Chain A
């Protein structure tokens, strides 16, 4: 996924740095001490909590470990098993990617559309805004319960309205061909509001003079939006891209509440939790799945960083 170029805020950065450098000559020893403590603490936390745990995960992924005692090293067996006999792994990867694609292709553009519409000062604009943003205030665990109340085959609202009760209901949550789409629907419901509010803020910050200039130059509204307004919102676009990727990779709570992420709702995060935290306590095996999640995540991070770094070099 290509990241948009660095923002204008970043363009201003070198100037700030120069100013700071000028001031540094006057820094006292005490200031330097404070600075190094602040940086030092951050580095220690960073190394311990991020690098330490990531490396521990990678090491544990080559072991069989129940949580107590010493882990037994079993080579690449966990990886071999995951790729050959674990029937949940491939679906989990597919579902994570589907989640990313759905949020990226459906929910995010929808959020942008809502933002553009609301930015036109419609009547009751504030009301729509609140209504669309409301789901963001709900945790996914709560959304998960709502999903069950609405879609359960026996006792759900939808089946009651359709008059399909007494074991005759549509099995939205148990049918593995339907439940993932239901989960995506509710995940998007929440994601759309989130994206909308961010884009609303972004749209407000676009200089109206730019739009006027575009119109004077003969651009139609669509051209104005895609050629002028949208590119101007680069900082917001970057944030939304990042949020969408994070939301898709960490998706967990919704499916976990619906059916513990089984039977059509497998996700990498659920497999990790199921194996490590669950009664099974297959910590080595779960760590190996976590390593796959790490690799997927790193893929996005590296792509993003190379884009940014290349641009800074150009500058």
Chain B
């Protein structure tokens, strides 16, 4: 990116100057180029019946989901006679580069997330309206439609599956030690302390990737302050300096202070934390179902227990579940719009979900007509968790502006993991609120 274009043999005074200027200036080039080449796309759509080539941008880069996507595409190709070219990019890189990707030369359909994280791009004009595709789809609930709808009331997203974030434990460990899954915060803390006394690292934790800690924050916040407060806080309507927010951090900090977390979270990837859980090195973990499922051998999936994150305020109970929805969108600059829409239409069908989940049984179908008979135990439990929830949230980085989540929240949470005294929390909250005000004052589009 800002790499110098020089090799040592060419080094001279002039090239030093040039290198310096390029280093500082080159970063704006992609933006300008992208801005210049705006418009123009979307004219290359070919007629309906003729077989065509459609490209799909995918962040399903881990082996299991990657295969599931390919299986789904194979089924589509067989059915439609079209050819699908899947361009897979490493999960985190795809997300990091999404803005540039959508502005530049995107595929005809692209994997993405529902909720605010999609609406943000729709509002910026990077996504094409797929309301016409939606009108032909069946089996999706109103809640799903809402999660796929932009701020202008049009649909921009086709959901594929969702998965629950929850508290995970190992049934065999619990049986051997006589533990009970915690229902309330006090039980949760007591259990973790007991585990510690028994020589088990109580709660597995990772925050190197920047997002895993958001799940715990969201849950403490929703259990304590309720779903609506979560929504308003994410939308920038509530203040981060509110005592309610500081109390969330305070409760969270108490887990660190009592030594209940796996230490060194900022240096641990989610895969490593998932592996610790799979190896039973930690007793509990707050994760999404696939994060646990992908790292644990399939034969041991039945040993994984899943319960809602414990209740804090009885008024809220466990009425909210974080169940992020993954799916697909149509970039506004797609070259083959008709093909992209045809593919999206198939992706919204129960067959597509069945095909995907057969290869990647760590998620749950969202189409009510999808086949749930073959669900493994973990999937059934996860689906039941989502089904009983009164409110479904998407996840911190999907419920708020990406510019806030990516440049402010991640850094704040990592610093919180590192130091979390009362003074640290006050300073962090004050800074988050300052940065939030600055970022939210700038219009999205």
Contacts and interface: CB of A to CB of B under 8 A. Distances in A.
Given A67-B103, A86-B435, A279-B406, A273 B266 contact: no
Q: Chain B at the A interface: mostly helix, strand, loop or mixed?
A: helix
A66 to B, nearest CB: 6
Nearest to A287: B28
Nearest to A256: B1
A54 B21 contact: yes
A129 interface: no
A300 B11 contact: no
B84 to A, nearest CB: 25
Contacts of B207: 174
Contact of B264 (A153, A260, A262, A301): A153
A224 interface: no
B268 A154 contact: yes
Contact of B4 (A53, A155, A246, A274): A246
A184 interface: no
Given A53-B25, A273-B2, A277-B96, A67 B35 contact: yes
Interface string A162-183: 0000111101111110010000
Given A155-B272, A174-B208, A269-B2, A286 B411 contact: no
B4 A176 contact: no
Interface stretch (B146-154, B275-283, B377-385): B275-283
A68 interface: yes
Contact of B3 (A57, A66, A252, A274): A252
A174 B11 contact: no
A243 B97 contact: no
A256 to B, nearest CB: 9
Interface in A266-315: 269, 272-283, 286-287, 290-291, 293-294, 297-298, 300-301, 304-305, 308
B16 A77 contact: no
Name A's interface SS. helix
A249 B268 contact: no
A176 B267 CA distance: 10
Contacts of B96: 277-279
B410 interface: yes
B24 A293 contact: yes
A126 interface: no
A218 to B, nearest CB: 37
Contacts, number: 224
Interface in A254-268: 259-260, 262-263
A106 interface: no
Contacts of A174: 207-208, 264-268
Contacts of B100: 67, 277, 281
A250 B3 contact: yes
B22 A50 contact: yes
Q: How large is the interface on B (under 10, 10 to 19, 20 to 34, 35 or more residues)?
A: 35 or more
Interface string B1-28: 1111010100101001111111111111
A194 to B, nearest CB: 8
A154 B272 contact: yes
B27 A67 contact: no
A269 B281 CA distance: 38
Given A260-B210, A277-B100, A279-B98, A152 B30 contact: no
Given A262-B410, A273-B2, A53 B28 contact: yes
A277 B264 contact: no
B236 interface: no
B27 A66 contact: no
A252 B3 CA distance: 8
A212 interface: no
Contacts of A249: 20, 23
A145 interface: no
Contacts of A154: 268, 272, 275-276
Residue from B16, B25, B99, B410 whose CB has the most chain A CB atoms within 10 Å: B25
A283 B97 contact: no
B184 interface: no
B18 A46 contact: yes
Nearest to B406: A280
B415 interface: yes
A32 interface: no
B232 interface: no
B416 to A, nearest CB: 11
B267 A50 contact: no
Contacts of A278: 96-97, 99, 406-407
A49 B26 CA distance: 8
Contact of B411 (A263, A277, A300): A263
A297 B20 contact: yes
A66 B404 CA distance: 13
B13 A276 contact: no
A263 B29 contact: no
Contacts of A242: 11, 16
A49 B98 CA distance: 25
Contacts of A169: 264
Interface string B419-435: 00000000000010011
A92 to B, nearest CB: 11
Interface string B102-116: 010000000000000
Contact of B431 (A85, A194, A283, A300): A85
B100 to A, nearest CB: 6
B27 A171 contact: no
B403 A282 contact: yes
A56 interface: yes
Nearest to B18: A50
Nearest to A170: B264
Contacts of A308: 13
Top 8 nearest A-B pairs by Cβ distance? A174-B267, A171-B264, A174-B266, A53-B25, A294-B24, A54-B25, A280-B403, A281-B99
Given A46-B18, A72-B443, 15 more contacts: A50-B25, A53-B25, A67-B100, A67-B124, A72-B442, A87-B431, A154-B268, A155-B275, A167-B276, A171-B263, A171-B264, A174-B268, A252-B3, A272-B2, A277-B1
9 contacts: A77-B438, A81-B435, A167-B262, A168-B263, A194-B8, A242-B11, A246-B20, A279-B99, A297-B23
